[in-house]
Structure 1
Amino acid sequence: MMEAYPSEKFAKAKKRVDRIKDFYGHLSVYIIANVLLFVFKGYAFNYMVLQGIGNQDFLDWFTLNIILTPVLWGLGLIIHGLLAFRSAPFSIKNLKPKFIRDWEERQIQKYMDAEDE
């Protein structure tokens, strides 16, 4: 069944499926790690309070770090999702402004034409 598809079309489809699969793997790790992080936070916070660590600044710092981890990681996950589900694969070339890409293509064509002469 796989032989029926042109190899280039199949390769593009496989890369897209791999990108989406990688995103879902990243999402799974994100969910599991953050559930464990919040469970750890609950136990650690209670332990510190029971041990008499009453420095409110430290407890606030601890809570902030536990909350910032999923927020910042979540932003990275959103970017990963946007890149995974877009139809064109991500490349540095896509980040270049159009006028630079056009200039590069003109220069390549110029040098190719010069070699033909």
Structure 2
Amino acid sequence: MESNYNFEKRSRIEQAKSEVKKLKGFYSHLLVFVVINLMIVVINVQALDSGESYFQFKNFFTLGFWGFGLLIHGLSVFLPNWILGKDWEERKIKELMNRYRKQ
């Protein structure tokens, strides 16, 4: 009984560490996104000709596509069960273990 308790406690600790690692990865991604896109804005504003508008497709290309990737990353971190459902990993592990036992 004691070893089962220790196993469950270690399992919860490992799960918490995994979640913290995912959050840290997302926040790092967000920080890099903001810094790089601010630098791109500054460079693009400096390169404008007089009277030229900043609102051109080329100035929002990186922001748009990278922003979409950041959105997907955020959804995978904050809504992990949204796409694959609750306990998907556990169900898949059990399915694979059963398949390996049969072989």
Q: TM-score, normalised by structure 2?
A: 0.65
Aligned to 1:82: 75
Question: Helix, strand or coil for the counterpart of 2:48?
Answer: helix
1:26 match: 29
1:68-117 Cα deviation digits (max 9, x unpaired) = 110110000000001111355x9xxx5xxx9xx88x93x8636635x7xx
Structure 2: how far apart are the matches of 1:85 and 1:8? 20
Map residues 6-25 of structure 1 onto 2, 5 A cutoff: 6-25=9-28
**1:65 is matched with which residue: 49, 54, 58?**
58
Q: Per chain length, whose mean CA-contact separation is higher, i.e. which structure has more relative contact order (CA < 8 Å, sep 6+)?
A: 1
Where does structure 1 lack aligned partners over 5 or more consecutive residues? 50-55
Distance 1:37 1:7, change over 3 A: same
CA distance in 1, matches of 2:9, 2:41: 48
> Relative to 1, partners in 2 of residues 1:110 and 1:29: Cα closer, same or farther, differing over 3 Å?
closer
Aligned length: 89
Q: RMSD over aligned Cα, in angstroms?
A: 3.8
Query: How far did residue 6 of structure 1 move?
Result: 1.3
Compare CA radii of gyration and give the structure with the larger one.
Answer: 1
Secondary structure of residue in 1 paired with 2:18? helix
Hey, what does 1:42 align to over in structure 2? 45
Name stretches of at least 5 consecutive residues in structure 2 with no aligned partner. Answer: 1-5
Kindly state the Cα deviation for residue 8 of structure 1 after the two structures are TM-superposed.
Answer: 1.0
State the Cα distance separating 1:66 from its structure 2 match: 2.1
Summarize the alignment of residues 83-98 of structure 1 with structure 2, pairs less than 5 Å apart: 83-87=76-80, 94=84
Percent identical across equivalent pairs? 28
* Paired position in structure 2 for 1:112: 101
**Under a length normalisation based on structure 1, what TM-score does the superposition of the two structures give?**
0.58
